[in-house]
Structure 1
Amino acid sequence: MKAILIDDNEKLYIGKTDKPIFKENELLVKVKATALNRADLLQKRGLYPPPEGASTILGLEMSGVVEEVGENVEGWNKGDRVCALLPGGGYAEYVSIPAEMAIPIPDGLSFEEAAAIPEVFLTAYLNMFWLGKLEKDETVLIHAGASGVGTAAIQLARVVGAKIIVTAGTEEKRELCLSLGADVAIDYKDGPFAPKVKETTHGKGVNLILDFIGASYWEQNISSLATYGKLILIGTMGGSNVENVNLGKILFKKLQVIGTALRSQPIEKKIALTKDFRDFALSKFENSEVKPVIDSVWDWKDADEAHAHMEQNKNAGKIVLRVNEVD
Structure 2
Amino acid sequence: MKALYFNNFGDNSVLKYGNIQSPQINAEQILVKTQFIGLNFADIYRRRGTYHIEKHHPYINGYEALGEVVAVGSHINDFKLGDTVFFVDVPFANAEYVSVPSENAIIVPENLDPKIIASVGLQGLTADFLAHDLGKNLPGNNVFIHGISGGVGQILSQMLTSDGINVYGITSTLAKQTLALQQGAVKIFLRNTPWNQNLNGKFDTIYDGVGKTLEQSLALATNKGKVIFYGMSGGNPPKIDPIKLLNQSKSILTGDLWDYLSNAIERKKRSQRLFSYFQENKIKISEPTIFSLADGQKAYEYLESGKSAGKILLKP
Structures share fold, TM-score greater than 0.5: yes
Q: How does 1:1-327 map to 2 (within 5 A)?
A: 1-6=1-6, 10-50=13-53, 56-107=59-110, 109-193=112-196, 195=197, 197-198=199-200, 205-215=202-212, 217-240=213-236, 242=238, 245-262=240-257, 265=258, 269=262, 271=264, 273-323=266-316
**Relative to 1, partners in 2 of residues 1:25 and 1:292: Cα closer, same or farther, differing over 3 Å?**
farther
Deviation at 1:292, TM superposition (A): 4.3
- AA in 1 matched with 2:309: A
- AA in 2 matched with 1:228: K
- Structure 2 unpaired stretches of 5+: none
Give the distance between the partners of 1:281 and 1:90, measured in 2 at CA: 22
- AA in 2 matched with 1:213: V
Deviation at 1:271, TM superposition (A): 4.1
- AA in 1 matched with 2:20: T
**Relative to 1, partners in 2 of residues 1:137 and 1:22: Cα closer, same or farther, differing over 3 Å?**
farther
Give the distance between the partners of 2:237 and 2:78, measured in 1 at CA: 47
Give the distance between the partners of 1:228 and 1:74, measured in 2 at CA: 49
Give the distance between the partners of 1:214 and 1:226, measured in 2 at CA: 19
TM-score with structure 2 setting the length? 0.88
**SS state of the match for residue 308, structure 1?**
helix
Q: For the Cα contact (< 8 Å) 1:157–1:164, is it kept in 2?
A: yes
Q: For the Cα contact (< 8 Å) 1:26–1:73, is it kept in 2?
A: yes
**SS state of the match for residue 161, structure 1?**
coil
**Relative to 1, partners in 2 of residues 1:292 and 1:77: Cα closer, same or farther, differing over 3 Å?**
farther
User: Which has the larger displacement, 309-318 or 62-71?
Assistant: 62-71
Query: Which string of whole-angstrom CA distances, capped at 9 and with x for unpartnered residues, describes residues 207-233 of structure 1?
Result: 222112223x23321121123322121
Give the distance between the partners of 1:65 and 1:269, measured in 2 at CA: 23
Q: For the Cα contact (< 8 Å) 1:294–1:319, is it kept in 2?
A: no
Q: For the Cα contact (< 8 Å) 2:127–2:152, is it kept in 1?
A: yes
User: Which has the larger displacement, 268-277 or 180-189?
Assistant: 268-277
**Relative to 1, partners in 2 of residues 1:66 and 1:241: Cα closer, same or farther, differing over 3 Å?**
closer
Give the distance between the partners of 1:238 and 1:287, measured in 2 at CA: 33
Q: For the Cα contact (< 8 Å) 2:90–2:100, is it kept in 1?
A: no
**Relative to 1, partners in 2 of residues 1:225 and 1:267: Cα closer, same or farther, differing over 3 Å?**
closer
User: Which has the larger displacement, 78-87 or 101-110?
Assistant: 101-110
Q: For the Cα contact (< 8 Å) 1:309–1:315, is it kept in 2?
A: yes
Deviation at 1:104, TM superposition (A): 2.6
**Relative to 1, partners in 2 of residues 1:312 and 1:49: Cα closer, same or farther, differing over 3 Å?**
same
Give the distance between the partners of 2:66 and 2:159, measured in 1 at CA: 21
**Relative to 1, partners in 2 of residues 1:187 and 1:131: Cα closer, same or farther, differing over 3 Å?**
same
**SS state of the match for residue 269, structure 1?**
coil
For this pair of structures, how many residues does the alignment match? 313
**SS state of the match for residue 150, structure 1?**
helix
Query: Which string of whole-angstrom CA distances, capped at 9 and with x for unpartnered residues, describes residues 226-280 of structure 1?
Result: 233221212224443526x454441133222123343xx3596264542232231
How big is the alpha-carbon RMSD for the aligned residues of Structure 1 and Structure 2? 2.6
- AA in 1 matched with 2:204: N
Deviation at 1:22, TM superposition (A): 2.8
Q: For the Cα contact (< 8 Å) 2:159–2:282, is it kept in 1?
A: no
Deviation at 1:7, TM superposition (A): 5.1
**SS state of the match for residue 320, structure 1?**
strand
Give the distance between the partners of 2:299 and 2:216, measured in 1 at CA: 32
Give the distance between the partners of 2:266 and 2:189, measured in 1 at CA: 31
TM-score with structure 1 setting the length? 0.85
